[in-house]
């Protein structure tokens, strides 16, 4: 397929200008992939909507907030899945989850083609909680099967819903993750922790606390995410290409290496009660300055403190 | 939830040849519009599902204005609405038609 040079130049410029955080899931997919290479599976015209939301008198979305398909990334075939964080907070329901499970099974059967997952989720949709929880379990199983078959699965996190609940568990099973400052990765969200354990345990109104505990910079510094990127489509695209190439496979050595990494992390930081203490213990002298640091400075610091490693996970 | 269906006769078919386009998301104050080229050139249909009940008269007017302004012949527009204001609805309908009319190389 020959593309007009204008279309390619336009896409290059848009990728650098468009904020990942502000973009819709469809815009992220369109710009992340090579120009006009995206082909959707079970698109909105199929109207595979949630069978549960109407019972609660809630509006449906034709793609149920999950876009799946295939395309090209820097000329290489990839599978892609993207959550729309503005529809039901990007939460997993029956159809939303089944689309990702199905895609992961396709990846398992064609493991030379990597998968990129654009997470943007608050976790499981409360209105279809049982179906949603089952979907998380099925996705984790399918993801592990895909990785066992040799596929790379790379997660990108920088949307307004962050990556919470079951989404955080799925992200933890990926081959590698890239996160922006705006991206947050956790299982229980700030409000959930406060509701269950009290405001003294976690004050969800304290935005600085939320960001330094769950935000992209902290996740990069403790090794939860492998790359920290700017909030542009271009930065995420470069990261996805890099992580597909560099991330680890999946075997006993990798699992043992991951266990060792987590054991060492617990030994090193287990007694810390705040992220700033962790950063200081990791060797960052001016730890208080981390949240305000510009992206370039932070990436340089993070690489000095902790080289990205791809032998674990 | 409330649903509305409208059918209009229009003088001109929508240009372009794309079979389908989609804009917007279903969120508070927002809506998605799925537009498909599936009808005869003189027809336009809109199916609307909205979370905000009791605004039938406003929908009818916004749709009539849209059809008159755009003459979206041949198009079926399906709307999932999360309670958007009429100006947002008008904007999304226009965006949807513009998108399906764009050249598809």
Question: How many distinct structural domains can be found in chain B?
Answer: 1
B44 and B75 in contact (C-beta within 8 Å)? yes
Q: What is the pLDDT of residues A181-236, one digit of tens each?
A: 999 999 999 999 999 999 999 999 999 999 999 999 999 999 999 999 999 999 99
- DSSP, collapsed to helix, strand or coil, labels residue B83 as coil
The token pair at A88 is 């039901």
The token pair at B88 is 């947002």
Strand partners, B23: B33
Chain A from 33 to 72: CB within 8 A of any B CB: 36, 43-45, 54, 57-62
The per-residue pLDDT for A8 is: 83
Question: Any chain A CB within 8 A of the CB of B78?
Answer: yes
What does pLDDT average to over chain A?
94
CB contact under 8 A, B1 and A57: yes
Using 50, 70 and 90 to split pLDDT, how confident is the model at A307?
Answer: low
Q: Which residues of A264-297 are buried (b: 16+ CB within 10 A; e: fewer)?
A: eeeeeeeeeeebbebbbebebeebeebbebebee
Q: What is the pLDDT of residues A84-129, one digit of tens each?
A: 999 999 999 999 999 999 999 999 999 999 999 999 999 999 999 9
Q: What is the pLDDT of residues B25-58, one digit of tens each?
A: 999 999 999 999 999 999 999 999 999 999 999 9
CA A312 to each of CA A62, A124, A224, A268: distance values in angstroms, whole numbers, following the listed order = 38, 28, 11, 17
Using 50, 70 and 90 to split pLDDT, how confident is the model at A308?
Answer: low
A175 and A247 in contact (C-beta within 8 Å)? yes
Angle at A115 between CA A112 and CA A119, to 5 degrees: 170
Overall pTM surpassing 0.90 (yes/no): yes
- How far apart CA A202 and CA A212 sit, in angstroms, is 12
Q: What is the pLDDT of residues A20-59, one digit of tens each?
A: 999 999 999 999 999 999 999 999 999 999 999 999 999 9
The per-residue pLDDT for B25 is: 97
For B56, the domain range is: 2-101
Chain B interface, mutation test: which of A45, A69, A160, most B Cβ atoms within 10 Å? Answer: A45
- How far apart CA A62 and CA A66 sit, in angstroms, is 9
Prediction ipTM score: 0.95
Give CA B96 to chain center in angstroms: 7
The per-residue pLDDT for A7 is: 80
CB contact under 8 A, A4 and B1: no
Domain edges within chain A = 5-250
- Which residues 6+ apart lie within 8 Å of B72 measured at CB? B10, B14, B35, B44, B66, B97
Question: Any chain B CB within 8 A of the CB of A86?
Answer: yes
- Which residues 6+ apart lie within 8 Å of A142 measured at CB? A100, A101, A104, A105, A108
CATH of the domain at B9: 3.30.230
CATH topology for the A5-250 domain: 2-enoyl-CoA Hydratase; Chain A, domain 1 (3.90.226)
């Amino acid at each position: 397929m020959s593309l007009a040079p204008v279309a390619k130049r336009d896409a290059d410029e848009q990728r650098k200008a468009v904020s990942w955080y502000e973009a819709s899931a469809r815009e992220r997919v369109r710009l992340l992939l090579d120009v006009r290479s995206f082909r959707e599976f079970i698109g909105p015209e199929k109207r595979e909507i949630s069978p549960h939301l109407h019972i609660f008198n809630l509006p449906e979305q034709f793609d149920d907030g999950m876009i799946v398909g295939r395309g090209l990334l820097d000329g290489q075939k990839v599978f892609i899945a993207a959550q729309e964080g503005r529809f039901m907070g990007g939460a997993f329901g029956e159809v939303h989850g089944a689309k990702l499970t199905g895609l992961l099974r396709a990846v398992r059967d064609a493991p030379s083609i990597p998968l990129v997952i654009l997470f943007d989720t608050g976790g499981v949709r409360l209105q279809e909680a049982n179906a949603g929880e089952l979907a998380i379990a099925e996705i984790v199983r399918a993801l592990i099967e895909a990785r066992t078959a040799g596929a790379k699965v790379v997660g990108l996190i920088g949307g307004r819903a962050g990556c919470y609940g079951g989404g955080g568990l799925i992200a933890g099973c990926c081959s590698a993750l890239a996160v922006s400052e705006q991206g947050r990765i956790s299982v229980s969200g700030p409000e959930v922790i406060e509701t269950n354990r009290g405001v003294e345990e976690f004050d969800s109104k304290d935005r600085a606390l939320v960001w330094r505990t769950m935000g992209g910079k902290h996740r990069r510094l403790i090794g939860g995410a492998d790359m920290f990127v700017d909030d542009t489509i271009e930065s995420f695209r470069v990261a996805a290409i890099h992580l597909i190439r560099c991330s680890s496979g999946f075997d006993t050595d990798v699992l043992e290496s991951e266990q060792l990494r987590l054991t060492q992390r617990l030994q090193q930081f287990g007694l810390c009660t705040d992220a700033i203490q962790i950063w200081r213990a990791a060797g960052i002298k001016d730890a208080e300055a981390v949240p305000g640091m510009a992206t370039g400075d932070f990436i340089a610091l993070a690489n000095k403190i902790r080289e990205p490693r791809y032998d674990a996970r | 939830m409330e649903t509305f269906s409208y059918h209009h006769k229009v003088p001109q078919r929508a240009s372009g040849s794309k079979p389908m386009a989609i804009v917007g998301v279903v969120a508070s104050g927002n809506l998605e519009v799925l537009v498909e080229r599936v009808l005869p050139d003189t027809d336009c249909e809109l199916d609307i599902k909205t979370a905000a009940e009791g605004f039938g008269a406003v929908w009818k007017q916004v749709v009539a204005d849209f059809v008159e302004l755009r003459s979206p012949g041949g198009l079926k527009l399906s709307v999932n609405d999360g309670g958007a204001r009429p100006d947002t609805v008008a904007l999304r309908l226009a965006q949807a038609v513009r998108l399906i009319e764009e050249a598809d190389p």
